[in-house]
Chain A
Amino acid sequence: MKVLFFAGLRELMGESVIELDIDTSLTVAELKTLIRLPTGESLASWSQSQSLLAAVDQAMGSDATVVDPGAEVAFFPPVTGG
């Protein structure tokens, strides 16, 4: 499973993309508990105090969105274009 990070979160993670070896489907909320920041804190814990959006296969998702093993997931702060 490919997980991408953008903007401030990309800088915080120190990486723009990671590959996770996951062979079952899971929810975005579950995936957030598996991803850790360089500080050791999970993304799930971090996102309790920070705004965080998720996309699954390039469409906006929520904590309940199901992610298949081959999916492309992205996490990012609220968007600020325009």
Chain B
Amino acid sequence: MYRRISIQSADFSLDQTLDRLKQHSGSPGGVCFFVGTVRDTNLDEQVSGLFLEHYPGMTEAQLARILDAAEQRWPLAGAEVVHRIGALQPGDNIVLVAVAAAHRGEAFQACEMIMDYLKTQATFWKKEQAASGDRWLDARISDQTKLTDWDAGGADF
């Protein structure tokens, strides 16, 4: 399976990702995209910015393990994961997951599983600048629950 993992401060281009996926995964049939962006309101407060920290080395390793798990579960043609770090503004892109497969079912499901694992297993942390001050965000219990759902379905991670 073609794969590309990138952790970068620069923005990303969906067009370039689509071109690479089509070029490297042999006319896959379908590509599913998920893009996460910086929200402007969180916990009932205006958000003026976000800082993203990560664990260099481990983050890349965790994302590779997540793609391994997806590849074991579905016949995928290719996948790209791009995650930004550093200072971001409301509306900025944060994360891109793109999955190419022969049919949409696998592409949709693998894209969702990769995002669910990324939320709970990839070593990124968000610090939000809000009206009341800067705060590190807490993990959501609902994210952990979604992971358990995949585990019950046999995801091997």
Contact = CB atoms under 8 A, between A and B. Distances in A.
B118 A60 contact: no
Contact of A58 (B58, B121, B125, B137): B58
A70 B94 CA distance: 35
Contacts of B122: 79, 81-82
A51 interface: yes
A80 interface: yes
Nearest to B157: A60
Which size class do A's interface residues fall under? 10 to 19
A78 B53 contact: no
A79 B139 contact: yes
Interface in A1-55: 4, 6-8, 51, 55
A77 B137 CA distance: 10
A58 B58 CA distance: 5
A82 B124 contact: yes
B55 A6 contact: yes
Given A6-B123, A7-B125, A58-B58, A81 B52 contact: yes
Interface of B: 36, 52-55, 57-58, 61-62, 83, 94-95, 115, 118-127, 136-139
Interface of A: 4, 6-8, 51, 55, 58-60, 74, 76-82
